[in-house]
């Protein structure tokens, strides 16, 4: 395998891995955002403010 071909393969794989990492990060952020807007979380924080510990 020539060095040029090897370099192209490395560049292509790097691009694929970065794309996968971005997709994973976006999915994780969307999941966290969904959880932060869930009604259960809001109820707990509301009761925490109304009923002092």
Tens of pLDDT, residue by residue over 2-53, are 999 999 999 999 999 999 999 999 999 988 888 776 555 555 555 666 665 5
Q: Are 44 and 50 in contact (CB under 8 A)?
A: no
Distance between CA atoms of 20 and 11, rounded to whole angstroms?
Answer: 14
Q: Are 8 and 2 in contact (CB under 8 A)?
A: no
Distance between CA atoms of 3 and 18, rounded to whole angstroms?
Answer: 22
Quick one: pLDDT at residue 46? 59
Quick one: pLDDT at residue 22? 95
Quick one: pLDDT at residue 38? 58
Distance between CA atoms of 17 and 43, rounded to whole angstroms?
Answer: 39
Quick one: pLDDT at residue 16? 97
How would DSSP label each residue in 35-52?
Answer: HHT-HHHHHHHHHHHHS-
Return the domain boundaries, the chain: 3-50
């Amino acid at each position: 395998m020539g060095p040029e071909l090897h370099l192209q393969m490395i560049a292509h794989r790097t691009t694929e891995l970065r794309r996968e990492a971005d997709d994973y990060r976006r999915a994780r952020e969307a999941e966290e955002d969904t959880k932060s807007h869930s009604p259960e979380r809001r109820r707990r924080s509301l009761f925490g403010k109304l009923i002092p510990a």
